[in-house]
Amino acid sequence: MDALVTLTAVDLERLLITIESSQQVHLRHQYFLWSQGVLQSFLPHEALIIGHGEYGTPAFRYEVLGRTQLAGDRMPGSDFDKLVGLALDSWQHGGYVPKAFGGDRNGSGICPVGQLLKRFSIGHAMAHGTREFTGDTSGFFVFLNMPEAPGRRHVYFAQMLMPYLHTTLHRMLTQEKNAPELPVRFNTRLSGREAQVISLVRDGMTNQQIAGTLELSPLTVKNHIQNILRKLEVSNRAQAVAKAVKARLISDQPGT
């Protein structure tokens, strides 16, 4: 029984929100908000490496999404290239299953990826991706600076959510390639309370959690969200967050 990962009712609600909201991601800032929102409940991280293209060739490319300047401040580009290459190689040779790395342990037994993480004080990390596809359709992800050593629960969710991480990434890439984003023209305003509510939705909170944070009833929170959806002329929470951020009604930084 110890091998089982038990999901609570809150886990299931968050999981449904994570999966549903992934379908609304089409642009880069939406991917960032999605990864820094409710996804943090399952795979908490400070920065996320997203890679795509044929593994081990010049066609493979990556970038770093994060809520801090972790990449630029802590690790020069050449070292980051090395980190990504080593993590990818280790994951492939490990059988294409989620691979944990630690950079905060003492001793000399740390793997090369762990040594780089330790050198730049990045801490725990985990890599996972898709088995190689032809062309540009592979997907590789490294979750950096996780708050604790990745365990069974993190592995479980990395495997469960990989199809959504992967398809959402390539939907974003396709959208950016084929349809450049247009300027936002938007005049709607949110009340102070509505801005608080949608900011907490952006941070991945459920209605129950928002109610507790703002000392409101769940019904009041639900009514606020319905008003927000109506004002923004959208049909779900993910669209509301994306539109509110684009219109600068709320910040794109979690916790603000």
pLDDT digit string, tens, across residues 132-164: 776 678 999 999 999 999 999 999 999 999 999
Q: Token pair of 14, please?
A: 């968050």
As a whole number, mean pLDDT of residues 49-69 equals 82
Bridge-partner residues for 144, per DSSP? 47, 125
pTM > 0.75: no
Rounded distance, CA 140 to CA 62, Å?
9
Sequence ranges of the chain with CATH classification 3.30.450.80:
9-178
pLDDT digit string, tens, across residues 105-123: 544 457 889 888 888 888 8
- How far apart, in Å, do the first and last CA atoms of the chain sit? 40
Q: Token pair of 213, please?
A: 């944070």
State the pLDDT confidence band at 215, using cuts at 50, 70 and 90. Answer: very high
Identify the CATH number of the domain defined by range 9-178.
Answer: 3.30.450.80
Percentage of residues of the chain with pLDDT beyond 90: 41
Sequence ranges of the chain with CATH classification 1.10.10.10:
192-246
CATH architecture of 192-246: Orthogonal Bundle (1.10)
Q: How far is CA 175 from CA 28, 180, 212, in A?
A: 9, 8, 37
